[in-house]
């Protein structure tokens, strides 16, 4: 069996996306439910890359008419990954902002303990 570039790149991207998602779960940044959904999506991308004949079976179920659509699905997956990363970063920034505002409010109210403000944590 000759491997096409798509059959090499898509599973590699899937592995990177899965490793990243599971590391987020390990660091308690995402829920198990989010990571499981992410795993199902990227595992299906890798499976379709290795066995494009699955698409003929899925044609009736999903409406995918062509194996070339697998490339479009992969591109959509990459875009979903990018959005996932951006949302994660925004949540981190929000948490830092809340901590900073809380610290400032305590300081103004005179209830602040004498300790260093750690913005990065």
More confident residue, 52 or 100: 100
Average pLDDT of the residues in 5-16: 90
Convert the pLDDT of each residue in 67-90 to its tens digit.
Answer: 667 667 767 877 887 788 888 889
**Nearest by Cα to 49 from 35, 65, 34, 69:** 69
Convert the pLDDT of each residue in 12-33 to its tens digit.
Answer: 999 999 999 999 999 988 888 8
Cα first-last separation, the chain: 50
pLDDT on residue 13:
92
d(CA 100, CA 115): 13
**Nearest by Cα to 24 from 11, 4, 39:** 39
Convert the pLDDT of each residue in 30-70 to its tens digit.
Answer: 888 888 888 988 898 888 888 877 777 766 666 666 666 76
Confidence of residue 119 (pLDDT cuts 50, 70, 90): low
pLDDT on residue 14:
92
34 membership: H or E segment, kind and range: helix 32-50
d(CA 113, CA 103): 10
């Amino acid at each position: 069996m000759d491997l096409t570039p798509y059959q090499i790149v898509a599973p590699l991207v899937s592995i990177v996306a899965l490793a990243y998602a599971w590391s987020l779960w390990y660091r308690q940044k995402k829920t198990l439910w989010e990571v499981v959904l992410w795993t199902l999506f990227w595992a299906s991308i890798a499976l379709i890359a290795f066995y494009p004949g699955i698409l003929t079976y899925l044609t009736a179920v999903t409406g995918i008419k062509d194996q070339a659509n697998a490339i479009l699905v992969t591109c959509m997956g990459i875009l979903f990954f990018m959005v996932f990363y951006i949302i994660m970063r925004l949540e981190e920034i929000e948490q830092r902002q809340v901590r900073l505002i809380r610290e400032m409010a305590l300081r103004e109210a005179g209830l602040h303990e004498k300790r260093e403000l750690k913005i990065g944590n």
